[in-house]
Amino acid sequence: MKSFIRAALVATALVVPVASFAQSQITRAQVQAELVELQSVGYHVGDGDQAHYPEAIQAAEAKLAARQGATAYGGAANGTSQSGGARVSQSDWNAMYSR
């Protein structure tokens, strides 16, 4: 029994890093496109100003978000919804909840 638990722990320890690595893959082209966008709003990559790095890139990202019409927490919402409106048709509701 101890060997089974030990084997399960080892398997879990090997699988967790692989699963966390596979969550987000960004390509070189995506990074280069983002840098070009940041440069278009005045951010200069590698200008040697390490004292103001966080403020400079955050200001450039804010300018870029304002240009694109996005908010700081997600993109622009294009659409409407009604509060309290039925989201599921009556036939679907009956299929899900009736016995």
Using alpha carbons only, give the angle 80, 86, 73 rounded to the nearest 5 degrees: 35
What does the pLDDT average to over 41-63? Answer: 83
> What would you report as the CA-atom Rg of the chain, rounded to the nearest whole angstrom?
24
pTM for the model:
0.44
Q: Quickly list DSSP for 25-91.
A: ---HHHHHHHHHHHHHTT--TT-S--TTHHHHHHHHHHHHHHHHT--SSS--------TT---S-HH
What letter represents residue 61's amino acid? E
Give tens-digit pLDDT for 64-91: 888 887 555 555 556 665 566 657 778 8
Give tens-digit pLDDT for 6-48: 777 777 777 666 556 656 788 999 989 988 998 888 888 777 7
Each domain of the chain, given as residue ranges in start order, spans: 25-69
